């Protein structure tokens, strides 16, 4: 039976199985959901065994568990290590969801729910592609699965776990579906990922909340001060105004910039889709460059003082912010994390106290397009989508990908099937059914092409 028929005959079951996983609220950044990480791990383990692995096991780490499963058909054959993550992002603002984040539904040809794309939907395609190859006796190589539960918080435990299980994880290529394509009719393969540094800062003024009338004018207000500090971080050119920040940024060649400029991009459509009048970014770079090859500084959250209904006149004691930088290949996230921490501590004025905590981070990644596995992926996309995919530098980060290269010495191929409208990390995350089924199909072809020419 060919893969199209197999999908067609089993699609209801595939979705039911995926929905079981989507219903588990495995939010890794909230400790109250720790038990859900174990539920998700058990669910993945059972799914792998049902799909045909010889064995599958839930491993403890220093943080959330990792599921590992494998099917070894012949030690002399090449081995694919599939990586996915079972944890998801928080769901707030919850009131903006049109259906419950953890009650997946099909609407308008899409799966709606937290994790529908990132990365339960995309990860689960691999279980189903593998199931088909086993069920129809076509598996051309060995397969290993490694499903982690901390990707959305920067994979703090997986690197160490990989190091202690290096032999078990031996593989020729790592296969990951946790990225997007340019559009459903413009297949693309992500060849670059940005790195990430993430901080939380606490600014303290007076040691208690003060009456803004009795003290206002005489005492520094930590919210005003936090705003003033943050306003200095980006200059008028859109550059991050921290000495040394760009030292390690690789300038991309004019030739590569020309190639990047060929990717289809409609600025009017882009602005319309976000309902904004003007874009804003670093002077001298296009939007695709700003999100692909240039670093960023974004405030992801801010809070302090009175945030309830109506008016309370207060000078608060404290104000907080969560900050992140996306980094480009060759920038070291730990170096940048320290650089920004030191900078903020240095420029903070004497009338406030500042505390800067480095929450997490990860390196960027580049995949060379002459890698045989990359070419196998190209052919697989071409077979399903009818077009050669274009290489694409993503603005997102999967910090663990560069760790895999460091620790396991294995390159990753980022076969993503997400689309720009999937609203990952946002309310109303969704994943088109077409991408889910096409993804399964593409992955089965990749196995075949890769096994024919693994290196």
Residue nearer to its own copies on the CB measure, 332 or 428: 428
Contacts to its own copies from residues 422-441, by CB under 8 A: 423-428
Considering only 86-94, 126-134, 250-258, 436-444, which stretch makes contact with its own copies by CB under 8 A?
86-94
Q: Which stretch binds its own copies (CB under 8 A): 38-46, 277-285, 403-411, 441-449?
A: 277-285
Q: How far apart are CA 360 and CA 375, in angstroms?
A: 33
Q: Check binding of 207 to its own copies (CB under 8 A).
A: yes
CA 361 to chain centroid, in Å, comes to 12
Q: Which CB, 54 or 62, lies closer to its own copies?
A: 62
Minimum gap (Å) between residue 348 Cβ and its own copies: 11
Dmax of the chain from CA atoms?
Answer: 80
300 binds its own copies (CB under 8 A): yes
Interface with its own copies: number of residues (CB under 8 A)? 102
Least separation in angstroms between residue 366's CB and its own copies is: 15
205 Cβ partners below 8 Å, 6+ apart?
A: 219, 220, 221, 222, 225, 315, 316, 317, 318, 351, 352
The answer to whether residue 275 forms part of the interface with its own copies (CB under 8 A) is yes
- The answer to whether 411 contacts its own copies (rule: CB under 8 A) is no
CB 175 within 8 A of CB 126: yes
Q: Does 250 bind its own copies (CB under 8 A)?
A: no
Burial class (CB in 10 A: 0-12, 13-18, 19+), 35: exposed
Does 306 sit near its own copies (CB under 8 A)?
yes
Our finding on whether 399 is near its own copies (CB under 8 A) is: no
409 φ/ψ sector (left φ>0, alpha ψ -120 to 50, else beta): left
List 22, 125, 319, 400, residue binding its own copies (CB under 8 A): 319
Burial 254-265 (b: 16+ CB within 10 A, else e): eeebeebeebee
Binding segment for its own copies (CB under 8 A), chosen from 39-47, 51-59, 157-165, 321-329, is: 321-329
Bridge partner list, 193:
365
Residues 50 to 79: which contact its own copies by CB under 8 A? none
Provide the sign of the torsion angle of the four alpha carbons 110, 86, 357, 400, taken in this order: negative
Residues of this chain, 111-150, that bind its own copies according to CB under 8 A: none
Among residues 10, 184, 212, 332, the one that binds its own copies under rule CB under 8 A: 212
CB of residue 367 to its own copies, shortest distance in Å: 17
Q: Is 366 an interacting residue with respect to its own copies (CB under 8 A)?
A: no
Q: 36 vs 26, 56, 87, 126, 178, CA distance in Å?
A: 5, 19, 9, 22, 21
- Per CB under 8 A, contacts with its own copies among 153-172 are 153-154
- Name residues contacting its own copies, limited to 330-359 (CB under 8 A): 349-352, 359
- DSSP H or E run through 273: helix 267-274
For the record, the structure tokens of 163 come out as: 């190091």
- Which residues 22-51 are close enough to bind its own copies by CB under 8 A? 28-31
CB of 83 to its own copies, least distance (A): 18
Q: Which two tokens stand for residue 454?
A: 């693994």
Q: Quick check: 181 and 188 in contact, CB under 8 A?
A: yes
> In terms of Cα–Cα distance, which of 454, 23, 416, 422 is closest to 192?
416
């Amino acid at each position: 039976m060919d893969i199209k028929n197999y999908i067609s005959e089993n699609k209801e079951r595939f979705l039911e199985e995926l929905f079981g996983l989507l219903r588990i609220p495995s939010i890794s950044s909230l400790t109250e959901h720790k038990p859900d990480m174990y539920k998700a791990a058990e669910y993945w383990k059972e799914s792998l065994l049902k799909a045909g692995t010889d064995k599958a096991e839930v491993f403890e780490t220093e943080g959330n568990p990792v599921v590992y499963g494998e099917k070894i058909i012949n030690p002399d054959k090449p081995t694919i290590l599939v990586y996915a993550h079972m944890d998801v992002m928080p769901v707030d603002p919850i009131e903006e969801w049109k259906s419950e984040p953890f009650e997946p539904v099909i609407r308008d040809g899409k799966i709606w729910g937290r994790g529908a794309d990132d990365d339960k939907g995309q990860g689960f395609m691999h279980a189903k592609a593998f199931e088909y190859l086993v069920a129809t006796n076509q598996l051309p190589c060995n397969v290993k699965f490694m499903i982690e539960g901390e990707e959305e918080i920067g994979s703090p435990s997986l690197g160490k776990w990989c190091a202690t299980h290096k032999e078990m994880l031996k593989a020729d290529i790592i296969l990951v579906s946790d990225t997007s394509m340019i559009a459903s009719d413009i297949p693309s393969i992500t060849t670059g990922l940005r790195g990430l540094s993430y901080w939380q800062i606490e600014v303290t003024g007076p040691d208690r909340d003060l009456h803004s009338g009795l003290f206002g004018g005489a005492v520094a207000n930590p919210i005003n001060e936090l705003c003033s500090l943050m306003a200095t971080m980006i200059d008028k050119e859109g550059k991050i105004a921290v000495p040394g920040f760009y030292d390690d940024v690789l300038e991309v060649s004019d030739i590569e910039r020309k190639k990047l400029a060929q990717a289809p991009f409609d600025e009017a459509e882009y602005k319309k889709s976000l309902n904004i009048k003007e874009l804003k970014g670093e002077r001298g770079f296009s939007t695709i460059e700003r999100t692909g090859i240039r670093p960023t500084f974004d405030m992801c959250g801010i809070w302090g003082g009175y945030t309830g209904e109506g008016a309370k006149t207060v000078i608060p004691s404290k104000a907080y912010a969560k900050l992140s930088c996306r980094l480009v290949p060759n920038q070291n996230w730990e170096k940048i994390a320290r650089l920004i921490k030191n900078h903020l501590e240095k420029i903070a004025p004497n009338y406030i106290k500042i505390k800067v905590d480095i929450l997490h981070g990860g390196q960027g990644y580049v995949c060379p397009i002459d890698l045989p596995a990359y070419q196998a992926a190209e052919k697989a996309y071409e077979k399903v989508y009818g077009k050669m995919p274009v290489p694409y530098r993503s603005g997102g980060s999967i910090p663990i990908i560069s760790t895999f290269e460091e620790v396991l010495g294995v390159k990753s191929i980022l076969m993503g099937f997400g689309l720009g409208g999937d609203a990952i990390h946002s309310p109303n995350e969704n994943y088109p059914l077409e991408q889910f089924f096409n993804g399964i199909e593409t992955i089965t072809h990749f196995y075949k092409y890769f096994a024919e020419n693994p290196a």
